[in-house]
Amino acid sequence: MRPKKTILCVDDNEQALSVRKFMLETRGYRVLTAVGSERALELFRDGGIDLVLSDLIMPYMDGNELIRRMKELAPEVPTILISGSVKAFDRANRADAFLPKGACSPVEMLERIRVMVARKRGPKKGHGLRPLVSTLVEEHQAETSEAVVVGA
């Protein structure tokens, strides 16, 4: 059995946090919650986070600044910002993805999370070399006009 992926959820609205936590835990994720950005940074520094799901508009430090600081610590951890303000999308330039509250269904949010957690794991073994090999073959053929046999 694979270990559960850990998602850090950040929001200043405790009710929204508990709904997200329940939704993610019922899908098999381990969920840590933080009511503010400072607490979120403490949890993030402890390590073991596979994805961060944060509200954009929060007091003291908004989600954009929070994610900027997190990316300085661990740039490989995927981050998603969510906001009820459509205009906030312009400010959400630090995150890997932006989801508008209300315009995005829970199913869409879960699918985005699943895809981004899988990306953090990296490509399946053996699949990562195909694009590289085909690029090298094309370059070789352009330079020499010789046929290249791959896998023989």
- pLDDT tens digits, residue range 104-142? 788 889 999 999 998 765 544 433 444 444 555 555 555
Q: What is the pLDDT of residues 15-57, one digit of tens each?
A: 999 999 999 999 999 999 999 999 999 999 999 999 999 998 8
The residue among 70 and 57 whose pLDDT is bigger is 70
Question: What pLDDT shows up at residue 99?
Answer: 87
Question: In sequence order, what DSSP letters do the residues of 5-62 get, joined into one string?
Answer: PEEEEE-S-HHHHHHHHHHHHTTT-EEEEESSHHHHHHHHHT---SEEEEES--SSS-
Enter the CATH code of domain 6-121: 3.40.50.2300
Residues of the chain with CATH 3.40.50.2300: 6-121
Q: How many residues does the chain have?
A: 152
Tell me: pLDDT of 76 over 80: yes
Q: What is the pLDDT of residues 86-105, one digit of tens each?
A: 555 665 577 888 888 877 78
